[in-house]
């Protein structure tokens, strides 16, 4: 998979893309990274990439023309068509489903903006997928671009050391309905550390029981920490609403999660 990154700060990417999973992906030729300095597509002596905002206000806005010329020139470097992605706080919140979708592309062009923003006309003309990695403002889109690359390359076939650890971690763990769940807690040696023991069940050797415990931990953690990932709980005072029949003959209020209740769960 080919990644092109358009940025004012190509130097920010070196260590990240040459280390860990992104580094291994490049070393094994599963991914290639091409960094491009937006200033290379300026035409004036000062290599200007920004100007003052129409309508006034603080800060600077990135110019249309260098970004347009850069995107077109970069895309012409390889015949594979690139999916264009702009990293911006106004974008679609990045989720694992989108990461999986992007990992199926042959080529991505990631655009990292800077300053107070990018002239809207070039965004409209490039019509990129706009992606946000979280609801906070950074100084630029570079760290989000690296975040996206890291999330994508670890899904590429052949990059992982352990074949199924990508399929088992947070957001690859899913409930019966396919909704993402948080990961379960993990433990390694020693069995007791400064008075804290490892949960007994993990030492039991009963793989079925371990799988059930982990699933239950995932569901409980998700309920406590990220209830937004689960279906809406039944409103209070809703006890008398008609019940729908479950396949196992049990009853669950419509909209309530079909589970085994506290303490047990199916894996
Ligand atoms: C700056 C700013 C200053 C005052 C009031 C509002 C403001 N918005 C911005 C702003 O959005 N600046 C951006 C900086 C311009 C485009 C690149 N920058 C950026 C990308 N910051 N944060 C991101 C980002 C991208 C993806 N996911 C999370 C954050």
pLDDT tens-digit map of 21-46: 999 999 999 999 999 999 999 999 99
Q: Is the pLDDT of residue 163 over 70?
A: no
pLDDT at 249: 44
pLDDT at 240: 83
Residue 87: inside a domain: yes
Of the candidates 236, 263, 241, 262, the residue with the CA atom closest to the CA atom of residue 252: 241
pLDDT tens-digit map of 86-126: 999 999 999 999 999 999 999 999 999 999 999 999 999 99
Task: Provide the CATH number for the domain around residue 219.
Answer: 1.10.1270.20
Whole domain around residue 49: which residue ranges?
2-153
* Number of domains the chain contains: 2
For 146-171, what is the mean pLDDT? Answer: 80
Residue 179: inside a domain: yes
Distance (Å) from CA 115 to ligand 1 centroid: 8
Residue ranges around ligand 1 (CB below 6 Å):
87-89, 113-114, 116-117, 132-134, 137-138, 140-141, 144
Look at 233 and 33; give whichever has higher pLDDT.
33
Share of the chain above pLDDT 70, in %: 87
Residues 133 and 175 occupy one common structural domain: no
Residue 49: inside a domain: yes
Residues 11 and 137 occupy one common structural domain: yes
Catalytic residue list contains 89: yes
Which residue owns the Cα nearest ligand 1 atom 15? 117
**pLDDT averaged over every residue in the chain:** 90
* Ligand 1 atom closest to Cα of residue 59: 3
For 11-18, what is the mean pLDDT? Answer: 98
Residue 230: inside a domain: no
Instruction: Report angle CA 34, 41, 94 to the nearest 5 degrees.
Output: 50
pLDDT at 43: 97
pLDDT at 165: 56
CA 43 to chain centre: 36
Task: Provide the CATH number for the domain around residue 49.
Answer: 3.40.1280.10
């Amino acid at each position: 998979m080919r990644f092109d990154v358009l940025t004012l700060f190509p130097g920010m990417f070196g260590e990240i893309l040459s280390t860990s999973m992104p580094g291994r992906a490049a070393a094994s030729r599963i991914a290639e990274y091409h960094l491009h300095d937006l200033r290379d597509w300026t035409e004036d002596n000062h290599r200007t990439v920004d100007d003052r905002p129409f309508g006034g206000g603080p800060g600077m806005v990135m110019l249309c023309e260098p970004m347009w010329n850069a995107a077109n020139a970069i895309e012409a470097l390889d015949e594979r068509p690139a999916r264009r992605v702009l990293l911006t706080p106004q974008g679609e919140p990045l989720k694992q489903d989108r990461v999986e979708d992007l990992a199926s592309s042959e080529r991505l062009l990631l655009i990292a903006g800077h300053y107070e923003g990018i002239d809207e006309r070039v965004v409209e003309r490039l019509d990129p997928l706009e992606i946000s990695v979280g609801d906070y403002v950074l100084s630029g889109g570079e760290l989000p671009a690296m975040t996206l690359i890291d999330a994508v390359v670890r899904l590429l076939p052949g990059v992982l050391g352990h074949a199924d650890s990508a399929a088992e971690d947070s957001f690859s763990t899913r409930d019966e309905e396919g909704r993402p769940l948080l990961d379960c807690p993990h433990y390694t040696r020693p069995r007791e550390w400064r008075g804290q023991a490892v949960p007994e069940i993990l030492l039991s050797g009963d793989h079925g029981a371990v799988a059930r415990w982990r699933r239950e931990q995932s569901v409980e953690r998700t309920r406590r920490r990220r209830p937004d990932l689960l279906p809406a709980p039944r409103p209070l005072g809703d006890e008398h609403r008609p019940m729908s029949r479950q396949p196992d003959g049990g009853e669950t209020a419509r909209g309530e999660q079909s589970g085994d209740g506290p303490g047990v769960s199916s894996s």
